[in-house]
Amino acid sequence: MNNTASHHPQYPTSDGIRPASSAGPASSTGPAGTGLSYDRPPVLIAQDLVMDYAADHARTSAGHGITGSAAVAMQTNPSMHALALNHVGFTLGEGETVAVMGPSGSGKSTLLHALAGIITPTSGTVMFRGANLASMGDAGRTRLRRGAFGFVFQSGQLLPELPAVENIALPMMLGGAGYREATDRAVLWLERLGLRALAAQRPGEMSGGQMQRIAIARALAVNPAVVFADEPTGALDQTTGREIMGILMDTARANGSAVVVVTHDPNVAAFCSRTVRMRDGRLETAADPAESGRGRNGGAR
C-alpha cells in the first residue's frame, strides 16, 4: 500500500484503491428554482418529465392491434387519468445526497426509476453528464446501470444462490472484470464493512441488516457516479436502519458518489443534504437545507 496515503482510510474503487477524501464534494447547490446554484456541472439533470402509464399502455395496445373505448379515451383525453410524473424537473450535483419523500403513490419511485434509466418517461429528458439517456438505447442504458449507477433496494435483492462475495462481485463481472479481480475487490468491500466472516454465506443465512450491508457493498464496488436507494431501510428496525444509512452515506461520500434516496421516513431523509417532496406526480419546492439539518454526511449545501 502506498505510504503517501497512510494518513487516510482506504476504500476500494473500480480502478484500484485510493484514499478517502477528507473534504466533502465541491458542490454547494440545489436544482433550478430553489435559489441555489452549482459550482460544477450537475451529474444528473431531468427536465419536464412526464410518465403517463395509461397512455403508454394504450399506445402499446394499439401497436398490437388492440382497440377499445378505454384506450381511445385515454389517448384523446389524458386529463381523465393521473400522471405518475407530471412535468417534473430534478437536478443532482456531483456528490450530492438528496432524499425524495412523499406518500405512497406520489411518484417518488417512478422518478427514481426514470432517473436511473430503468424506465423511459413518456416525455421529457434525463441527462447524465451531458448524455441523454433516451438516446443511448437499451444496451447503453444497461451499461450505464452496471457501471455508472449503483442500486440499493428495500429487500436488498441479492441472488439467493450466490454467497456474499459473489453477490458483490457480480456487477463487476457483468461489466467485464474477471472472476479473480472481481472477487478480490469484493473481499476488500467485505473487510471495509466488517463483514469478512460473511464472505461464503448466502442471503438466507444472513440477517436483514447484513443483507443490506452486502447490497451497499455491491452498489458501491463499481465506484458509481450515483447510488439510487429505494426505501433502503423499509424492512429494518429503526436502530438497524440508522446504522445502514450511516454506512451508505459514509461509503458513498468516500467514493465521491451522489445518492438519491426514496423514503417516507424523515429520519432517513435527515441523512441527506437536501430533501424534496412529491405529491400527485409533482415535485414540490425543495426543503430549506437548514430545515433538514443540512444532512449528516456533509454533501452539497
> pLDDT tens for residues 141-184?
999 998 899 999 887 789 999 999 999 999 999 989 999 999 99
Strands 10-13 and 149-153: unpaired
What does the pLDDT read at residue 57?
61
Residues 179-207 have a mean pLDDT of 95
Tell me the DSSP string of 86-153: EEEEEEE-TT-EEEEE--TTSSHHHHHHHHTTSS--SEEEEEETTEEGGGTHHHHHHHHHHHTEEEEE
The answer, yes or no, to whether residue 291 has pLDDT greater than 60, is: no
The answer, yes or no, to whether residue 206 has pLDDT greater than 60, is: yes
- CA 3 to chain CA centroid, nearest Å: 34
Which is more confidently placed, 219 or 32?
219
pLDDT digits (tens, 9 = 90+) for 77-111: 545 468 999 999 999 999 999 999 999 889 999 99
Closest by CA position to 155, among listed 259, 234, 248, 242: 234
Contact of 139 with 214, CB cutoff 8 Å: no
The answer, yes or no, to whether residue 33 has pLDDT greater than 90, is: no
Q: For residue 286, name the pLDDT band (cuts at 50, 70, 90).
A: low
Closest by CA position to 27, among listed 79, 91, 93, 73: 93
Residues 185-205 have a mean pLDDT of 95
Angle, helices 164-174/179-192, rounded to nearest 10 degrees: 130
Percentage of the chain lying above the pLDDT 90 cut: 64
The answer, yes or no, to whether residue 297 has pLDDT greater than 70, is: no
Sign of the four-CA dihedral 222, 11, 211, 277: negative
Which is more confidently placed, 192 or 63?
192
**Domains, the chain, ordered by start:** 42-51+83-280 (3.40.50.300)
The answer, yes or no, to whether residue 41 has pLDDT greater than 70, is: yes
Percentage of the chain lying above the pLDDT 70 cut: 73
Contact of 179 with 169, CB cutoff 8 Å: yes
Tell me the DSSP string of 200-261: T--GGGS-HHHHHHHHHHHHHTT--SEEEEESTTTTS-HHHHHHHHHHHHHHHHHHT-EEEE
Looking at residue 65, what DSSP letter applies?
A: T
Closest by CA position to 294, among listed 138, 65, 146, 96: 96
What does the pLDDT read at residue 126?
97
- Classify residue 89 as exposed, middle or buried by CB count within 10 Å of its CB (0-12, 13-18, 19+): middle
Contact of 185 with 223, CB cutoff 8 Å: no
The answer, yes or no, to whether residue 285 has pLDDT greater than 70, is: no
Q: How many CB atoms lie within 10 A of CB 161?
A: 10
Q: For residue 284, name the pLDDT band (cuts at 50, 70, 90).
A: confident
What does the pLDDT read at residue 58?
61
Main-chain phi, psi angles of 258, to 5 degrees: -75, 155
Q: For residue 299, name the pLDDT band (cuts at 50, 70, 90).
A: very low
CA distances from 14 to 64, 152, 189, 250 (A): 43, 18, 11, 17
Q: For residue 22, name the pLDDT band (cuts at 50, 70, 90).
A: very low
Rounded to the nearest integer, the mean pLDDT of the chain is 80
What does the pLDDT read at residue 12?
41
Q: For residue 210, name the pLDDT band (cuts at 50, 70, 90).
A: very high
Q: For residue 62, name the pLDDT band (cuts at 50, 70, 90).
A: low
